[in-house]
Chains A and B, each alone.
Chain A
Amino acid sequence: MSSILFGRYLPLNSIVHRLDPRAKLLLSFFYIVLVFMANSLWSYVILIVMTLGAILASKINLGFFLKGIRPLLWLIIFTVVVQMLFSPVGGHTYFHWAFLRVTTLGIITSGVIAIRFLLIIMTSTLLTLTTQPLDIATGLASLMAPLRWVKVPVDTLAMMLSIALRFVPTLMDEAVKIMNAQRARGVDFGEGNLFKQAHSLIPLMIPLFMSAFNRAEDLSIAMEARGYQDSEHRSQYRILTWHHRDTVTWLIFLIGFAAILVFRRW
């Protein structure tokens, strides 16, 4: 669990860290589109250069970064192998014959899939490594602002999202505490067959949900005592500002996008 990097924040002071979270979120969405649009050798070279450039600019050690992706590697390998075995002819009787034909077309297809996933995973990990969770929440809320016109309660959703993110570490500590307390009483977690395992989770799930319920009660009383009325008509303490560096980063990505369009096989 500790080896997984995605979702963690690494406090450093780099250009990528200081970018506006809105710019970074939008760039990540845009990047996924780019990855799926690229289809020639050169377009992938451009994408890889762009990705490595972003990682270098974030001052995060590349080795550390790759080590964090390692737990996901077998998933990618599995996907690639499935794609390789099943893409040229089929999955039944001519398995052996089909296996030989894999080499021509299957490897290219599965190689492309592997590169796509690695690129997307690396970029999204970079996003969470360089952006604080609450900044992501604020950024998402501000990006959702146009949805106000179709009556989506954006402010309420933003409030819920920031409370949720704030309480993930708290609930995590609590889950571990409950697990240890139940272990001390003789519960074996993660052992035995499926039903035994599911059964051992009950003394963890019930207290976790109950305490979440109690916490919600306390928190809502505390919020109202501090004058929280409704999500509408609230002012903001964290204000996001769009700097020149955000515009420049976007320009660089747009140039990359244009280059990919040029090198793409249509």
Chain B
Amino acid sequence: MTRHKTFRLVIDALLMAIVLLQNILPFLGYIPLGPFSMTLIGLTVIIAAIALGPVDGVIIGTFWGLITFIRAFTWPSSPVAPLVFTNPLISILPRLLMGLLAGFVYLWVRRHWHQEKLAMRLAAATGALVNTVLVMGLIYIFYQTPAVATAFGAKGSQTLGYVLMISILTNGVPELILDVLVAPLIAGPLRKRWDRLNHSAKS
């Protein structure tokens, strides 16, 4: 029992290290798309959620969100990051929920439909979709509230609207591609890891 617990602590820590690494090494974390880029960090969160469970998905997702949040102030990952991700609701909440829901979808589909591969694909799609929809949805909410506007010195919500409209486009496009990409990319590596984990839990 403790054996399993310590293993989980360490694998979560190492997945956190991979998330950190993906932030430090650009080619590991991002694929450039012209001036903007799509991120592969969501992939790590989804892997954590499927291979280990919803709780671990939340841990890694929240960690990613926290890094996004801190980076928006200190070391912006994209030109829109300082405009949007300085709000913890936009930077942290979508990542937290994507880990949670991806984990649950995987468990649910596996239990009820008994299809391992389909469960992984659906979970990955859910995770990516939840992230994109929530980021865009929350930007839309703040598009109507000038709360973010004042923090950046933009006068009034009317003008901020255009700034955020660009943000929605630049967030939506890379993440849409991410949705398409994540599901097939993730299924293979995951399967093997999942087997391994089951194996170590039994012994």
Contact = CB atoms under 8 A, between A and B. Distances in A.
A171 B193 contact: no
B78 A220 contact: no
A78 B181 contact: no
B89 to A, nearest CB: 17
Interface string A195-206: 101100110111
A205 B27 CA distance: 11
Contacts of B185: 198, 201-202, 205
B181 A198 contact: yes
A182 B40 CA distance: 19
Contacts of A83: 152-154, 163
Interface centre among B10, B47, B82 (most CB of A within 10 A): B10
Interface string A108-140: 010011000100110011000000000000000
B133 interface: no
A86 B161 CA distance: 9
A172 B21 contact: yes
Contact of A190 (B27, B162, B166, B200): B27
B3 A224 contact: yes
A230 interface: yes
Interface of A is mostly: helix
Interface residues of B, number: 59
B16 to A, nearest CB: 4
A159 interface: yes
B153 A109 contact: yes
A171 B11 CA distance: 13
Contacts of A112: 153
B83 to A, nearest CB: 7
B141 interface: no
Interface residues of A, number: 67
Nearest to B3: A224
B147 interface: no
Given A72-B76, A91-B162, A213-B196, A167 B14 contact: yes
Nearest to A125: B74
Interface of B is mostly: helix
A62 interface: no
Contact of A194 (B26, B31, B35): B31
Contact of A87 (B6, B79, B155, B177): B155
A262 interface: no
A165 B10 contact: no
B192 interface: yes
Interface in B44-94: 47, 73-76, 78-79, 81-83
B154 A210 contact: no
A17 B14 CA distance: 28
A79 B83 contact: yes
A209 B152 CA distance: 39
B18 interface: yes
Contacts of A217: 7, 200
A163 B11 CA distance: 10
Contacts of B11: 212-213, 216, 220
A259 interface: no
A241 interface: no
Interface in A4-38: 4, 6-7, 32, 36
Contacts of A109: 153-155
Given A90-B162, A198-B181, A209-B189, A160 B13 contact: yes
Contact of B74 (A120, A163, A228): A120
Given A160-B12, A194-B31, A86 B159 contact: yes
A87 B166 CA distance: 13
Interface of A: 1, 4, 6-7, 32, 36, 72, 75, 78-79, 82-83, 86-91, 105, 109, 112-113, 117, 120-121, 124-125, 156, 159-161, 163-168, 171-172, 175, 189-190, 194-195, 197-198, 201-202, 204-206, 208-210, 212-213, 215-217, 219-220, 223-224, 228-231
Interface of B: 2-3, 5-7, 9-18, 20-21, 24-28, 31, 33, 35, 38, 40, 43, 47, 73-76, 78-79, 81-83, 151-155, 158-159, 162-163, 165-166, 177, 181, 185, 188-189, 192-193, 196-197, 200
10 contacts: A1-B24, A82-B163, A109-B154, A121-B75, A165-B17, A194-B33, A209-B18, A210-B193, A216-B14, A220-B9
